[in-house]
């Protein structure tokens, strides 16, 4: 469509600069992308139109480098109500209920301004969930920081944790799980991935597709300010020495307003007034209005002078690109304006009719009666850049011979060193700042199980079902071999859900990578997707939502490739669930799964030998499913007292964590032929679980009949952790080291 076909060509506002190559570049558009824009428009754009194209075509909003690969992920299953493409994914959890969930990144903002960056990340992902009609029931987060010795790391940890806790606690939503890791690769670019899970009636899901020519377009929530302008564009570029100057692009959140917005939206959703609803996230009013019109195949007129503003002298450009928080855009049924207005004014929120839907398939922007923007909507979608970037596959490293990795000279010292290392040390200092028990439905709290578990009222006379949820990724595996690492991230999430007794149902992902214009980085992304797709297919674990965060680099140094997997499962009767706590003596300890003693890319190798090398442990998905289905059946059958999957640090670390969590010791003995002992105890072979049971012989016999490898290792009891012939150490000595590292680190002088 050309300018000749426009009914109302836009006017140029006073003091509006001429569009120059420099201004185009500052908006993140490549020269060929700008030429594509000119072809669509048939003329030079106004500044506000240029800003809209910049917002909609940046990496953060358009997925232009990743879309071709994301299409390879499985997204369907009988229990999937809504897959990718909406604000969040939706799955059926029975009893007329749906779980709605998504994970999203706020990496760049959190590095620049850790408190507000993390806080608004939490606020944004909660809006994605409740805009679809769900009441949030739990939050999770996956955090990656740089080397603890780096001068900025302590400051970033402090700010991010405070921001997550501050926002989530004020909203009254428990933060129930996640992970926190440290690695020098994140020195200049931390990762803050936030996940929210909500519950809604399965027949009351709200979507973003606009409908009804003439229907009113309504703005609700906070007023619009100048915060966050170009936030999405900033998140689509690498960092450099000037990254601190991007502080104004970080949004500022107010959880108390968000709480009001949540309650007001849910109250309006209980009526029949809403046609479509969309939160204003990245790119603010631009993305929300455009996406609603595009999904509905309609046009939209937006009267920008009617937008509630908290600052004087704001321009159309600023209003369209502001990423001010706690705002929603709603299409109402005709005649429902006053009903909606009363609800939002009762909750002391702004309410304004700012436009209406049309049949033109154009976005028309007016400013005090003048047309300042007029953009055809379909080509903005159909002709948006989508790249098949060159990529090179990361070769599989040579398998590391465990016999050539030195055994500990002092077994006790090695265990204490591992349990007190940054990645394995207790993260209680973090999660105790989050209110993880609010609402009273948290059944398994952080560090007490492989997955968090939240009760869900199901309307039955007795019993409650539970939602299990987790966040997982092992970036060092992905770095070594992306396909294996992607496969393992999905498998571990599936295991963690299984280990509490729940059925894994679906995945949300957060793909954190470096610059996709580098073939080796694009190869990491492609490899990870291939591994994830295979695992999700074999495990019946579809991807229903997600987020891509690229350009996570500083001065050309990329992060470890980090495809974070958030996962949700359901357990029909929460009374059958188990955690990982050893709370009683006399339980038989049974190892499920084969052990080779895989030390390549292991925590043992890195922390005690100072080496990061070798192939990561292979993932046999058929074995994962077989072993996991068996373990889940034993848990639901009430034949398991505690269960822990084996991951970082292998068997001995898993056993130590079970003992520390439950306050009960254990004594185990290595099976015959388990050599070398350090590989058997610290190897990170996949598809394994450590199970505590009152009847070890019966469980082993059941495993034999199911074709599942199982070996009796020993028993719980006492106040020490012992491995016959190698190790005997008091739990309290381990606990002192395990719990001290993070508080000592955070309390140390900068």
pLDDT digits (tens, 9 = 90+) for 401-433: 999 999 999 999 999 999 999 999 999 999 999
Going by C-alpha positions, the residue among 141, 147, 125, 148 that lies closest to residue 179 is 141
Question: So what's the pLDDT on residue 395?
Answer: 96
Percent of the chain with pLDDT over 90: 87
State the pTM of this model: 0.94
Task: For residue range 473-496, list pLDDT tens digits in order.
Answer: 999 999 999 999 999 999 999 999
Least Cα distance to 742 among 35, 157, 89 occurs for: 157
460 falls in which pLDDT band (50, 70, 90)?
A: low
728: buried, middle or exposed (CB in 10 Å: 19+, 13-18, 0-12)? Answer: middle
As annotated, the active-site residues are: 60, 106
Bridging pattern class, strands 666-668 and 720-723:
parallel
pLDDT tier, 381 (very low <50, low <70, confident <90, very high otherwise) = confident
Angle formed at CA 268 by CA 266 and CA 274, multiple of 5 degrees: 115
Pairing of strands 350-358, 370-376: unpaired
pLDDT at residue 247, rounded to an integer:
44
pLDDT digits (tens, 9 = 90+) for 165-196: 999 999 999 999 999 999 999 999 999 999 99
Confidence of residue 440 (pLDDT cuts 50, 70, 90): confident
Q: What is the DSSP string of 390-402?
A: ---PPPPPPPP-G
**How far is residue 432's CA from residue 195's CA, in Å, rounded to a whole number?**
18
Percentages helix, strand, coil for the chain (3-state, rounded to 5) are: 35, 25, 40
Helix or strand or coil: residue 190? coil
Residue 636 has what DSSP assignment?
H
Average pLDDT, rounded, for the chain: 93
The model's pLDDT over 247-270, given as tens digits with 9 standing for 90+, comes to: 455 777 889 999 999 999 999 999
Residue % of the chain over a pLDDT of 70:
95
Cα separation of 82 and 72, whole Å?
Answer: 17
* DSSP-assigned letter for residue 188: T
Angstrom distance (rounded) from CA 245 to CA 661: 44
Find the mean pLDDT for residues 344-348. Answer: 97
So what's the pLDDT on residue 238? 58
Q: Provide φ and ψ at 399, rounded to 5°.
A: -60, 135
| Polymer length of the chain | 750
463 has a pLDDT exceeding 80: no
pLDDT digits (tens, 9 = 90+) for 31-60: 999 999 999 999 999 999 999 999 999 887
Q: What secondary structure does DSSP assign to 664-714, as a single string? A: --EEE-PPTT--SHHHHHH---SS-EEEEES-HHHHHHHHHHHT--EEEEE
C-alpha to C-alpha distances, 296 to 53, 55, 112, 118, 455, nearest whole angstrom? 20, 20, 37, 32, 36
Alpha-carbon distance of 454 to 437, in angstroms, equals: 10
Please give, one letter per residue, the 3-state secondary structure of 226-292. CCCCCHHHHCCCCECCCHHHHHHHCCCCCHHHHHHHHHHHHHHHCCCCEEEEEECCCCHHHHHHHHH
Contacts of 288 (CB under 8 A, 6+ apart): 278, 279, 280, 281, 329
More confident residue, 232 or 274: 274
Instruction: Give residue 237's pLDDT.
Output: 53
Q: Quick one: pLDDT band at residue 2, thresholds 50, 70, 90?
A: very low
Tens of pLDDT along 149-167?
A: 999 999 999 999 999 999 9
pLDDT value of residue 5: 44
What does the pLDDT average to over 687-711? 98
Sheet architecture: strand order including 666-668: 642-645, 689-693, 588-592, 710-716, 666-668, 720-723, 727-730
Q: Are 283 and 55 in contact (CB under 8 A)?
A: yes
pLDDT at 1: 35
Average pLDDT for 695-724: 98
What gap in Å lies between CA 624 and CA 686, rounded to an integer? Answer: 8
Mean pLDDT is lowest, of 214-218, 507-511, 552-556, 591-595, for 552-556
At residue 558, does pLDDT exceed 90?
A: yes
- What is the greatest pairwise CA distance in the chain? 86
Determine whether 312 is exposed, middle or buried from the number of CB atoms within 10 Å of its CB (0-12, 13-18, 19+): exposed
Q: Is the pLDDT of residue 560 over 70?
A: yes
| pLDDT attached to residue 172 | 94
What is the tens place of the pLDDT at every residue in 103-130? 999 999 999 999 999 999 999 999 999 9
Residue in this structure with the two tokens 């999203």, named with its chain if needed: 104
Q: Write down the pLDDT at residue 58.
A: 87
Q: What token pair was written down for 338?
A: 């006053």
CB 510 within 8 A of CB 464: no
Cα–Cα distance, 682 to 419 (Å, whole number):
12
With contact defined as beta carbons under 8 Å apart, do 125 and 195 qualify? yes
**210: closest CA among 328, 331, 361, 376?**
331
pLDDT in tens, 524-543: 999 999 999 999 999 999 99
Per-residue confidence (pLDDT) for residue 729, from 0 to 100: 98
């Amino acid at each position: 469509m050309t300018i000749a076909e426009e009914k109302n060509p836009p006017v140029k506002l006073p003091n509006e600069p001429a569009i120059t190559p420099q201004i185009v570049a500052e908006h993140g558009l490549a020269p060929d992308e700008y030429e594509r824009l000119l072809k669509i428009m048939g003329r030079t754009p106004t500044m506000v139109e240029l800003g809209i194209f910049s917002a909609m075509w940046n990496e953060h909003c358009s997925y232009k480098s990743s879309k071709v690969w994301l299409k390879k992920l499985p997204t369907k299953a009988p229990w999937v109500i809504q897959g990718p493409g909406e604000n969040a994914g939706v799955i059926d959890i029975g009893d007329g209920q749906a779980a709605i969930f998504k994970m999203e990144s706020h990496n760049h903002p959190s590095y620049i301004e850790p408190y507000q960056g993390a806080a608004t990340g939490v606020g944004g992902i909660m809006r994605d969930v409740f805009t679809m009609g769900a009441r949030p029931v739990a939050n999770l987060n996956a955090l990656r920081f740089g080397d603890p010795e780096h001068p900025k790391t302590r400051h970033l940890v402090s700010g991010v944790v405070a921001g997550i806790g501050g926002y989530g606690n004020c909203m009254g939503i428990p933060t129930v799980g996640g992970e926190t890791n440290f690695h020098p690769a994140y020195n200049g670019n931390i990762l803050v991935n936030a996940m929210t899970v909500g519950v809604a009636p399965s027949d009351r899901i709200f979507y973003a597709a606009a409908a009804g020519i003439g229907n009113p377009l309504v703005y609700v929530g906070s007023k619009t300010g100048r915060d966050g302008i170009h936030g999405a564009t900033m998140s689509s570029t690498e960092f450099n020495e000037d990254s601190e100057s991007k502080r104004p692009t970080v949004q500022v959140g107010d959880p108390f307003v968000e709480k009001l917005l949540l309650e007001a939206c849910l109250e309006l959703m209980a009526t029949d007034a809403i046609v479509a609803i969309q939160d204003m996230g990245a790119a603010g009013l631009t993305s929300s209005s455009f996406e609603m019109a595009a999904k509905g195949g309609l046009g939209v007129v937006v009267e920008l002078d009617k937008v509630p503003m908290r600052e004087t002298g704001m321009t159309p450009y600023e209003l369209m690109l502001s990423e001010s928080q706690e705002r929603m855009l709603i299409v109402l049924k005709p005649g429902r304006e006053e009903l909606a207005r009363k609800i939002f004014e009762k909750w002391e929120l702004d309410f304004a009719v700012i436009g209406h839907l049309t049949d033109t398939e154009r976005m028309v922007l007016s400013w005090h009666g003048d047309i300042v923007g007029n953009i055809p909507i379909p080509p903005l979608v159909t002709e948006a850049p989508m790249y098949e970037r060159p990529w090179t596959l990361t070769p599989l490293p040579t398998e590391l011979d465990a016999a050539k990795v030195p055994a500990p000279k002092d077994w006790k010292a090695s265990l204490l060193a591992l349990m007190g290392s940054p990645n394995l040390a207790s993260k209680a200092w973090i999660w105790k700042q989050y209110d993880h028990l609010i609402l009273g439905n948290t059944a398994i709290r952080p560090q007490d199980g492989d997955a968090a578990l939240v009760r869900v009222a199901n309307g039955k006379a007795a019993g409650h079902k539970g939602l299990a949820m987790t966040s997982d990724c092992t970036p060092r595996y992905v770095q070594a071999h992306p396909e294996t690492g992607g496969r393992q991230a999905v498998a571990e999430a599936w295991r963690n859900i299984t280990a509490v007794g729940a059925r894994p149902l679906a995945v949300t992902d957060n793909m954190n990578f470096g610059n996709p214009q580098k073939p080796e980085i694009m190869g990491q992304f492609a490899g990870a997707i291939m591994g994830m797709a295979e695992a999700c297919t074999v495990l019946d674990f579809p991807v229903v939502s997600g987020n891509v965060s690229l350009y996570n680099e500083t001065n050309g140094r990329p992060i470890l490739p980090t495809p974070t997997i958030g996962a949700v499962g359901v357990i029909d009767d929460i009374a059958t669930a188990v955690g990982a706590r050893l709370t009683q003596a006399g339980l038989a300890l049974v190892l499920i799964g084969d052990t080779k003693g895989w030390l390549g890319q292991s925590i043992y190798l890195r922390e005690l030998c100072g080496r990061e090398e070798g192939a990561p442990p292979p993932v046999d998905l058929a074995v994962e499913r077989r072993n996991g289905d068996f373990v889940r059946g034993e848990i639901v059958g009430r034949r398991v007292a505690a269960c822990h999957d084996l991951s970082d640090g292998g068997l001995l670390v898993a056993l130590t964590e079970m003992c520390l969590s439950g306050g009960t010791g254990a004594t185990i003995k290595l099976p015959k032929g388990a050599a070398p002992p350090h590989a058997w105890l610290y190897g990170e072979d996949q598809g394994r679980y450590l199970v505590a049971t009152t009847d070890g012989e019966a469980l082993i016999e059941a495993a034999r009949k199911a074709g599942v490898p199982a070996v009796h290792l020993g028993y719980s009891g006492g106040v020490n952790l012992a491995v016959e012939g190698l190790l005997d150490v008091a739990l309290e000595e381990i606990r002192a080291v395990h719990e001290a590292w993070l508080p000592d680190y955070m309390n140390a002088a900068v």
